Every structure is written in C-alpha cells, then in structure tokens.
Structure 1
Amino acid sequence: MQKALAIGAAAAVVAVVGGTAAFVLTRGNADDKFAECRTSAVAGGAGQIGGPFELVDENGRTVTDQDVIQRPSLLYFGYTFCPDVCPFDTVRNADAVDILKERGYDVQPVFISIDPARDTPEVVKDFTANIHPDMLGLTGSAEQVKAASQAYRTYYKKNDAEDPEWYLMDHSTFSYLVLPQDGFVEFYRRDLSPEQMADGMQCFLDAM
C-alpha cells in the first residue's frame, strides 16, 4: 500500500503554499495511535491544523466546528464558481465517501467556500446537492471564512478581473480528515484516487 512506502520514506517537503505550514512525509510516532495510518505530517505536529470555527451552513444557520464535526468528516475549501479543480476534487471526495459507505463506514463530506461574496447559503446548497446528498456546504462572512481558512492553514486569493462578477480564485487543494474526538488527523492531495483516499481514511477510522 502507498501508506507503507510513505511512512518509511525519509522526510521530504511536499508543499508550501503562501503562508501555510510545510507538509512533509515522515515516519510515524510510536506513541501515536494513528502512526500506522499516517502518510504525512505537518511541521510542528498535527495539532497545528484545525480548531474552532464559526460559519454559516447551507440553510442559513450559524454553526461551529462542534456542530459540524459530529462524525468523521472530510473537509475541502473551494468555491462554487471554480471552473475545474473544485468540481473534480469534491466529486472525488464524494466517491471516496461512497466507497467507505459500502465498507460500512460513515464519513461526512464538507465543502467550505472561500468565496463568501458570491457563495451565499443558497448557492452553496445548490452546489453540494449536485455533488452528494450528504455533503454539507458552509460559507459565512469574509471574516468567518478567513478565520476557518487560517485554522486549517489553507491559502486563497481573489484574482483581479475586468468583470467583478466573473473573477477566479487561487487556492490550496488539500482535503482534510477530521475526527470528532481527535480533530485533524490527515490531509490528502488532489492526485489521489477515490480508492486511495478511502483506503487511507479507513485506517484512521479503524484506529479510532
């Protein structure tokens, strides 16, 4: 499995985006109950990623991380006007969740908009409904979105455009596995297949 190769590899930087933390491949910690599952770690430890947030769900209700992360969740930061990357990544995540469901595991896919100016709760709800019936969409004020993004060390930037309604966003593309009792435990790159993601997540779910 790819996991075993990654755990045995020497430390190497995978990505540094904007002001985000450096993601590295590293050996697992013997005191970590998820050590055999980890293919990656964050500089400073997994505790550097995640934490409290307050956002608005697709039904217009203000929610916190405790409201959202009540079961294993796969978080992705993107935007609904994204022409290619976000639809591909969110569909891949939904497929991984469905594979796990067939294996008897319950994981919630979550989409967090980094474009609150256009992504109202109604817009986000339409987007998530077209991707997966169980996908939860979140948006919020610019300040709320920024705080959530900073908690997960994601990067996003609005590109200038002549038409203010048709701009694009630069953003990081990691997906984050978050567990109710443990918080953030792993991130997944966008080059992984649904099957690879499902295999990786299953290891964490078995170790909970």
Structure 2
Amino acid sequence: MNQLAMPVTKRNLLLALIGASLLGLTACGDAGSPQGSAAEASMPPLQGADIGGEFELVDKNGKSVRWSDFDGKYRTVYFGFTYCPDVCPTDVQRAMRGLKQLAQADPGKAAKIQPIFISVDPERDTPEAVGQFTAAFSDDLVGLTGTPEQVKAVADAFRVYYERGEEQDGGGYLVNHSAITYLFGPKGEPLATLPTDQGPEAVAAELAKWVN
C-alpha cells in the first residue's frame, strides 16, 4: 500500500466528517444575522469535534507523560514514526519551521505553544529513538512513545489511523498512517489542522490565527 495514498484518504474523510458536523451545528443559528455570520467565520474549524483526550505515554527519558501535563499550553500534535523515509520528516520540519517563523514575528504567541510528536511504531520507536528524532528538528519538540496498547489508545482518541505495512527486503517495514498536524487549545480542545502541505509560511499564519 502506498504510504502517501492512505494518509491523504483518511485525512480527507476525517475533515469531511468534521465539516459536515460543523455545518449541522451552524444550521441551527440565525443565518440572517450579520453578527452571527461573523461569529461563525471566526470559529476554529475543529471546534466541538470529538478529538483528543487523556493519555499516558513516555518521553525520551522514559518518564510518564499525560495529556493533562500540557494544560495551559496550546499544542501541536503529529503522529508518525522515526523510520519514516519522507512524509514524517517533511511534515515535522515544516511544522517546526512554521513555529519558528511565528516566534520571530510574535514571540509571545509562539511561547504559548508546545509541539508534540507521538510515535505509531511502538515496536521500534524506543524513548531514545524518539528523542533522537525530535532533537533533529527542535529542542522544544516533545517526543512520546509507549506500549502497543498505549499507542492504540491515544491514536483512537485522536482519530488517527495507522497500520503496519508489509515486510520489505531486509526485514524492515513502513507504517501507513494519517498525516495530520493538529492544533489544540490550552484546555486540550481541538482547534484546527495545520497546512504543512503548504509550507512553513502557511503553518505560521494558521498558528497566528488561532493562538491568542
């Protein structure tokens, strides 16, 4: 299975379902009210979506980390794996460059954001491996991993698809997974997805739009 095809399909399906849900909610409002229309336009696209929730994983030092440990911070969250040859490094790099651009333009906003990388390859991604991966992009990027059961639980909560691919020559394998970078608010509420496919500038603009 092509690694790119499955994430794009799952992402589009997820966003379509979320979009339909939000349309259902706004249909109950006063469509003829200019103020109501302005309020709807300023709503985060993922507001009210059932994405995220409490989890327990471990960081690069093997220390237990929970979702609630980040309360008070905006959070960007990306699910991937350290052996990923192209998609994960590209997405993470663009997300971190976008955050860096925001830091240059508005240090106050950038300081409110905690970037997080969560592995979907618990068999190979040890705490040390995840730590080395995240360090290649930023010292501020928190890398998390866990047992297969913990990883499945957090992926389910965050509506993330992943599946181990077929064995390759030499015994290695890829992991098909959703390529989505989420933005969550300081209470852990879902706000938006970051347009990493459009580059760092678009990421910085989206962060600036929703981080207060």
TM-score normalized with structure 1 length:
0.80
Output the CA distance in 1 between the equivalents of 2:185 and 2:143.
18
Output the CA distance in 2 between the equivalents of 1:80 and 1:88.
12
Output the CA distance in 2 between the equivalents of 1:72 and 1:191.
21
The partner residue of 2:93 within 73, 79, 91 is: 91
Q: 4+ residue runs of structure 1 moved beyond 2 angstroms?
A: 20-35, 162-165
Counterpart in the other structure of 1:109: 115
Deviates more, 1:61-70 or 1:129-138: 61-70
Q: Which has the higher helix share?
A: 2
Q: CA deviation at 1:182?
A: 5.0
Contact 2:11 2:179 in 1 (8 A): no
Output the CA distance in 2 between the equivalents of 1:170 and 1:136.
22
Output the CA distance in 2 between the equivalents of 1:143 and 1:32.
43
User: 2:58 aligns to what SS in structure 1?
Assistant: strand
The partner residue of 2:191 within 185, 195, 199 is: 185
Cα-to-partner distance string for 1:147-191 (whole Å, 9 max, x where unaligned): 111111010000120568510010010101112225211113442
Considering only CA atoms, is the larger Rg found in Structure 1 or Structure 2? 2
Matches within 5 A, 1:33-48: 35-36=41-42, 38=44, 40-41=45-46, 46-48=48-50
Deviates more, 1:175-184 or 1:50-59: 175-184
Unaligned runs of 5+ in 2: 1-9, 27-35
User: 1:101 aligns to what SS in structure 2?
Assistant: helix
Q: CA deviation at 1:70?
A: 4.1
Matches within 5 A, 1:36-185: 36=42, 38=44, 40-41=45-46, 46-102=48-104, 103-104=106-107, 105=109, 106=111, 107-162=113-168, 165-181=171-187, 183-185=189-191
Identical-residue share of aligned pairs (%) = 37
The partner residue of 2:17 within 22, 25, 33 is: 22
Output the CA distance in 2 between the equivalents of 1:182 and 1:169.
27
Counterpart in the other structure of 1:4: none
TM-score normalized with structure 2 length:
0.78
Contact 1:69 1:178 in 2 (8 A): no
Change (3 A) 1:130 1:14: closer
Cα-to-partner distance string for 1:6-56 (whole Å, 9 max, x where unaligned): xxxxxxx97126xx9834386795499785153x34xxx633111111111
Output the CA distance in 1 between the equivalents of 2:193 and 2:70.
18
The structure whose RCO (Cα within 8 Å, separation 6+) is larger is: 2
Deviates more, 1:25-34 or 1:119-128: 25-34
Output the CA distance in 1 between the equivalents of 2:169 and 2:71.
37
User: 1:98 aligns to what SS in structure 2?
Assistant: helix
